[in-house]
Amino acid sequence: MKDGRRLAWREGFLPQPVVRFTGERTPGGRLKDGYLTAFVNLSCISRIDSVDRHLDLLDTWIGALSAAGLHASRLTITGSTQVWRRGPVSGVTLLIDCDGVGLADAVLLRHTTNPAMLASDLGSGLERLRWLTSRLPWPTAAFGDQADRWDVDLLDAVRTATLLAMAGIQPAASGPGQALRRVLRRVPPRLAEAGLGRLVRSQRGYWADIGMTGPDWPQLADTIEHEVLSGGGSRQG
């Protein structure tokens, strides 16, 4: 879309791993319920030939949410039809809430100088879907039984670090490596000294289930433990 080319590397239904440091936190610095640093965005991304097609896809998405247990009566769509512009791409974004909790967004994209070039991008967070459909406590919905044994912020840090390391990112003072170093500041050295293999193995399995590839868990655990124990995770990048 940015290049004005009718080329799609991938389209359709795509589970996408996301790392984002904008999750809301309590005054004490803990992540609020519903927020993770690393999560799965379930997206439907498609080239389209009209705005009506985007609306058809949105209707289908709402139907899918209903089939998953989130009836349309629980959903609220908000936003503005005012077109935003970011460089060569323009769009309209609508937000979907479920029971007052942010759940999904629907973005209509177009090339600014070639309005006939359109795309639809619909997305919902997997972990929030599980939370809202299961009605489990947020920590359990996000991390399963591990939430009964470990602090949620620790699990969030290990999950995020595992994803970044699976993508081939190494700790560094700047760039993506700085993001890995940043999350590892939340891992206590005493736990790394004892070994994080079991936690890393579980989180690697989580990402592998959505199609992520990368080093096996012993190598990932070694990378994470070495960084924490070397003091890199506690230094400013």
**How many CB atoms are located within 10 Å of the residue 141 CB?**
20
Q: At residue 3, does pLDDT exceed 90?
A: no
Q: At residue 126, does pLDDT exceed 80?
A: yes
Q: What is the pLDDT confidence band of residue 236, given thresholds at 50, 70 and 90?
A: very low
Q: At residue 234, does pLDDT exceed 80?
A: no
Q: At residue 178, does pLDDT exceed 90?
A: yes
pTM, 2 dp:
0.89
> Model confidence over 101-110: pLDDT tens digits?
999 999 999 9
In the predicted model, what is the mean pLDDT of residues 92-96? 96
> Model confidence over 184-213: pLDDT tens digits?
999 999 999 999 999 999 999 999 999 999
Helices (H), the chain: 51-67, 126-134, 138-143, 152-166, 176-184, 189-194, 197-208, 217-230
| Amino acid type, 220 | L
> Model confidence over 25-63: pLDDT tens digits?
999 989 999 999 999 999 999 999 999 999 999 999 999
In the predicted model, what is the mean pLDDT of residues 124-137? 94
> pLDDT > 90: what percent of the chain?
87
Pairing, β 114-125 against β 12-19? unpaired
> What's the CA gap between 96 and 157, in Å, rounded?
27
Check if the beta carbon of residue 61 is closer than 8 Å to that of residue 82: no
> What's the CA gap between 17 and 110, in Å, rounded?
24
